[in-house]
Copies of this chain bind each other. A is one copy, B any other.
Amino acid sequence: MTTGRNAVRVGLLGCGIVGGATARVLTEQAATLSERAGVRIDLAKVAVRDLSKPRTVQLPDEVWTADAWSVVKDPTIDVIVETIGGVEPARDLIIEAARSGKHIVTANKELLSTLGEKVMGAAEQAGVDLLFEGSVAGGIPIIRPMKESLAGDRVTRVMGIVNGTTNFILTRMSETGETFEAALGEAERLGYPELDPSADIEGHDAAAKLAILASLAFNARVVASDVEREGISKVTPEDVAAAHELGYEIKLLAVAEESEGQVSARVNPAMLPRLHPLAAVRDVFNAVFVVGAEAGELMFLGRGAGGGPTASAVVGDIVEIARNVATGGRATGCTCYRDKAQMRPPHEANVRYYVVLSVLDQPGVLAAVAGVFAAHEISIASVRQEGIGEEATLALITHVGTEGRHDETFAELETLDSVRSIDSRLRVVGTAEA
């Protein structure tokens, strides 16, 4: 790129919630941003699908266009900021922008968590920067700390609450005792879920973000389909109440770990001890908890979505690129030095479980149940027997064992005459053991 410029020209693709906030910040804070970048930052073009739609940001007529392709090909544009979301046409637009020598800023988690290698490869090959701070956890600085600040450390685990809608729902369930359906209704009334709520509820959104975080943490590419995934729709008020009694909160946790050269990555509702810093993350707040061999435990907390927070991240990336254009520098590129991560087979992951069994109220039940755990070499950390007659239950928490052995144990428990059903089964995370 040319150095010693007077201005860096930005082409913005999309002007929805994130794009609109980005345009507003670039316009309102133009003087401050230029001071920080050492060069003027001009919002030169904004491509939208529908030019007739009213916009909250006021820009000169010649800035608006309905032709995104003309923007990525415009030789006067230095930086393309993609806020369209989704895989297509974002992928083709970004690759074309890179080929045209433009730096790229994107907050597109779907694209990066599926075709990250392809778009980053295109940027690398073209010698342009591709920054994506807004793609995970909105306004929380996490990409740059992982890529740069922790480049001197060895991350062993990254664990996050990275979906605001599900955290809002679980917070409501925890604080009011209401059902999943009622809490989801409240979230929808407030407009929190994506248009298709299953992206949030079933953990797809969190899995995409975890794939990006895990790739940065372990310098090896993890894609969304590598992430095991379970949503929160089966969490009941009884689970929440039981968690409280035991000193836990239930959270949708995204967890990635590396050990012995293998990476495991999963998103699932989990019981987290109340004293764990992530347990206090309420409502739509997001947080990422990172364990470094040297730094120890770190947590990054903030707002994970919304126009302002995501624009904060996106404009931060634009300023970094503008600084680089002014000085001839380059941002840190793709850090997946090890290419594809070697994923640990899910049944080999080391986990702990909380499990609730409906049992017959008769002597010898506990002995039979304990015998099944022992046969599969899963130790029991705690057990509570409750209710009588038809309502009798056993609630157990296990010590660490593989997912496979837990599966086998639970399958065999269901064959016992004295066990009516397994009513609940939740991972236990954030303890000294796991």
Chain A 291-325 interface 0/1 with B at a Cβ cutoff of 8 Å (1 = within): 01111111111110000110111111111100110
A152 and B312 form a contact (CB under 8 A)? yes
Question: Which residues of chain B are within 8 angstroms of A337 by Cβ–Cβ distance?
Answer: 35-36
* Complex alpha-carbon distance, A145 and B21, angstroms: 20
Number of copies: 2
Residue from the set A152, A154, A314, A335 with the largest chain B CB neighbour count within 10 Å: A152
* Contact pick for A312, options B21, B292, B316, CB 8 Å: B292
Chain A 260-295 interface 0/1 with B at a Cβ cutoff of 8 Å (1 = within): 000000000000000001001000000000001111
Chain A residues 408 to 423 lying within 8 A of chain B, measured CB to CB, are none
Asked if A332 is at the interface (CB within 8 A of a chain B CB), the reply is yes
Chain A residues 95 to 154 lying within 8 A of chain B, measured CB to CB, are 133, 138-141, 144-145, 148-154
Instruction: Number of A interface residues at 8 Å Cβ cutoff, please give it.
Output: 58
* Complex alpha-carbon distance, A138 and B292, angstroms: 13
Question: Which residues of chain B are within 8 angstroms of A315 by Cβ–Cβ distance?
Answer: 151-153, 294
A139 and B298 form a contact (CB under 8 A)? yes
A297 and B302 form a contact (CB under 8 A)? yes
Question: Which residues of chain B are within 8 angstroms of A316 by Cβ–Cβ distance?
Answer: 148-153
Partner-contacting stretch, out of A25-33, A50-58, A204-212, A354-362: A25-33
Question: Which residues of chain B are within 8 angstroms of A299 by Cβ–Cβ distance?
Answer: 299-302
Question: Which residues of chain B are within 8 angstroms of A33 by Cβ–Cβ distance?
Answer: 151-152
Asked if A327 is at the interface (CB within 8 A of a chain B CB), the reply is yes
* Closest chain B CB from A3 CB (angstroms): 11
Question: Which residues of chain B are within 8 angstroms of A133 by Cβ–Cβ distance?
Answer: 149
Question: Which residues of chain B are within 8 angstroms of A302 by Cβ–Cβ distance?
Answer: 295-299
Question: Which residues of chain B are within 8 angstroms of A294 by Cβ–Cβ distance?
Answer: 21, 25, 139, 308-309, 311-312, 315
Question: Which residues of chain B are within 8 angstroms of A171 by Cβ–Cβ distance?
Answer: none
* Complex alpha-carbon distance, A150 and B139, angstroms: 9
Asked if A329 is at the interface (CB within 8 A of a chain B CB), the reply is yes
Question: Which residues of chain B are within 8 angstroms of A145 by Cβ–Cβ distance?
Answer: 141, 144-145, 149
B327 and A292 form a contact (CB under 8 A)? no
Asked if A328 is at the interface (CB within 8 A of a chain B CB), the reply is yes
Asked if A5 is at the interface (CB within 8 A of a chain B CB), the reply is no
Asked if A347 is at the interface (CB within 8 A of a chain B CB), the reply is no
Question: Which residues of chain B are within 8 angstroms of A309 by Cβ–Cβ distance?
Answer: 294-296
* Contact pick for A301, options B32, B144, B301, B318, CB 8 Å: B301
Find the B residue at minimum CB distance from A280: B280
Question: Which residues of chain B are within 8 angstroms of A234 by Cβ–Cβ distance?
Answer: none
Asked if A219 is at the interface (CB within 8 A of a chain B CB), the reply is yes
Asked if A330 is at the interface (CB within 8 A of a chain B CB), the reply is yes
* Complex alpha-carbon distance, A367 and B355, angstroms: 60
* Complex alpha-carbon distance, A337 and B153, angstroms: 31
B36 and A314 form a contact (CB under 8 A)? no
* Closest chain B CB from A348 CB (angstroms): 24
Find the B residue at minimum CB distance from A281: B277
Question: Which residues of chain B are within 8 angstroms of A324 by Cβ–Cβ distance?
Answer: 329
Chain A residues 195 to 236 lying within 8 A of chain B, measured CB to CB, are 219
A303 and B312 form a contact (CB under 8 A)? no
* Closest chain B CB from A25 CB (angstroms): 6
* Closest chain B CB from A289 CB (angstroms): 9
* Closest chain B CB from A131 CB (angstroms): 10
Question: Which residues of chain B are within 8 angstroms of A335 by Cβ–Cβ distance?
Answer: 36
B149 and A144 form a contact (CB under 8 A)? yes
Question: Which residues of chain B are within 8 angstroms of A32 by Cβ–Cβ distance?
Answer: 154
With contacts A152-B319, A295-B313 known, what are 5 further pairs, Cβ within 8 A? A141-B141, A152-B315, A277-B301, A296-B308, A300-B301
- Enumerate chain A interface residues (CB-CB to B < 8 A): 21, 25, 29, 32-33, 35-37, 133, 138-141, 144-145, 148-154, 219, 277, 280, 292-303, 308-309, 311-320, 323-324, 327-330, 332, 335, 337
7 contacts between A and B (CB under 8 A): A29-B152, A133-B149, A141-B149, A277-B301, A297-B302, A328-B328, A329-B330
Q: Which 6 A-B pairs have the closest CB atoms?
A: A152-B315, A141-B149, A139-B295, A141-B145, A294-B312, A152-B316
